[in-house]
Amino acid sequence: MMYTTEICEQAQMENAELATLVAMAAQVLFTGVSCLLMERAGRRPLLVFAASCTAASHLVLSYYYCARAWGWWAPPWLAMLALSAFIVGFSLGLGPVPWLILAEIFPMDVRGTAASLATATNWTCSFLVTLLFEPLQG
């Protein structure tokens, strides 16, 4: 999510910033859809779909970058397809569902403290990934 503009630029999008804006708007839209589906479809099916969708999109995006590096067939739309599939999968399940489960998993007497620790851990890990990703790219 944090490198959407870079992916769009490498996929030769004319206006990478606009493509990123559209992608993030889609994320908000699909997160709203997830709220509607959560009680009807259930948490488990949403998580399974989301995990499958994001895993497949990572495989396709990995192929795209490897194929570009090796001179194989790698059309720019393949990267955008993978990015779109990731956003749909993440927004429908892996983004919102864990936060709902977090509120249900802990007993009332420790819920506030446990939720605070889980949230702090989540954002700390997100910060570290964002901070360390580019230096690790080499």
Helix ranges (DSSP H) in the chain: 4-10, 16-41, 43-70, 76-89, 97-105, 111-137
**Structural tokens at position 77:** 């739309």
Q: What is the mean pLDDT of residues 2-11?
A: 84
C-alpha distances out from residue 6 to 71, 75, 94, Å: 20, 16, 22
Could you tell me which of 83, 89, 85 has the C-alpha nearest to residue 9?
83
Cβ neighbourhood burial of 128 (10 Å; 0-12, 13-18, 19+): exposed
Identify the band that residue 133 occupies on the pLDDT scale cut at 50, 70 and 90.
confident
pLDDT at 90: 92
Q: Over the chain, what is the mean pLDDT? A: 90
At 31, give phi and psi (nearest 5°): -65, -40
For residue range 68-112, list pLDDT tens digits in order: 999 999 998 899 899 999 999 999 999 899 888 888 899 999 999
The rounded distance, in Å, linking the Cα atoms of 138 and 127 is: 19
